[in-house]
């Protein structure tokens, strides 16, 4: 070996980028409701929310996130607490109409999984997105008032790969 070979070093580094969240609040682009919802000022993230009384599920609030990079996403929601809220607010998480997760959330209790942007958030699920779209729906098929306030998503991981197979041959 020559003297120069002794001092050759290979360095590698990676940059860790903190997870970035996206929030759609009621009243913002990406949020919609069917009939049966009432806009309410003075409560919720940014001072407003929507509510619907217990019913058949025909009143639907929808939050739609588009152009997402493939990955695993943590999906969370927030609401204003009151004793007249549903203890079984039915949320579904979908991608292009395919059900990824569902959760019955007790809106009589304060969300408690994380705090961000001056709000407490409750996790609905961690889901895999491959096609760029994620939709969260809340209906009034519940036992009390349901509150449609805001939904937060955060990419928490890349999509896991399957096992890697290496074909090794002896070269003699």
Decide: 136 and 77 in contact? Cβ < 8 Å: yes
CA 47 vs CA 27, 69, 159: distances in Å: 11, 30, 36
Structure confidence at residue 20 (pLDDT): 81
Q: What does pTM read for this prediction?
A: 0.83
- Residue 79 contacts by C-beta under 8 Å, 6 or more apart in sequence? 44, 49, 85, 89, 105, 107, 111, 147, 148, 149
Residue 83 phi, psi dihedral angles, 5° rounding: -65, -25
70-119 pLDDT tens trace: 999 999 999 999 999 999 999 999 999 999 999 999 999 999 999 998 89
Percentage, residues of the chain above pLDDT 70: 83
- Residue-wise pLDDT for 118-141, tens only, equals 899 999 999 999 988 999 999 999
Residue 12 clears pLDDT 80, i.e. is over it: no
> How far is 163 from 78, CA to CA, in rounded Å?
37
Strand-pairing partners, residue 127, are 73
- Give the mean pLDDT of 42-66: 96
Q: What per-residue confidence (pLDDT) applies to 155? A: 95
């Amino acid at each position: 070996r020559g003297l120069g070979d002794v001092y050759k070093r290979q360095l590698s580094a990676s940059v860790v980028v903190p997870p970035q969240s996206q929030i759609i609040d009621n009243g913002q682009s990406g949020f919609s409701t069917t009939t049966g919802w009432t806009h309410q000022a003075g409560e919720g993230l940014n001072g407003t929310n929507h509510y619907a009384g217990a019913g058949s599920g025909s009143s639907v609030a929808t939050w739609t996130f588009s152009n997402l990079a493939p990955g695993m996403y943590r999906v969370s929601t927030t609401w204003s607490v009151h004793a007249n809220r549903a203890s079984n607010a039915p949320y579904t998480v979908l991608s292009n109409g395919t059900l990824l997760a569902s959760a019955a959330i007790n809106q009589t209790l304060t969300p408690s999984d994380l705090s961000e942007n001056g709000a407490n958030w409750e996790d609905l699920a961690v889901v895999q997105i491959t096609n760029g779209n994620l939709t969260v729906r809340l209906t009034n098929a519940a036992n009390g008032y349901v509150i449609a306030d805001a939904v937060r998503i955060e990419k928490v991981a890349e999509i896991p790969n399957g096992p890697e197979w290496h074909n090794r041959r002896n070269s003699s």
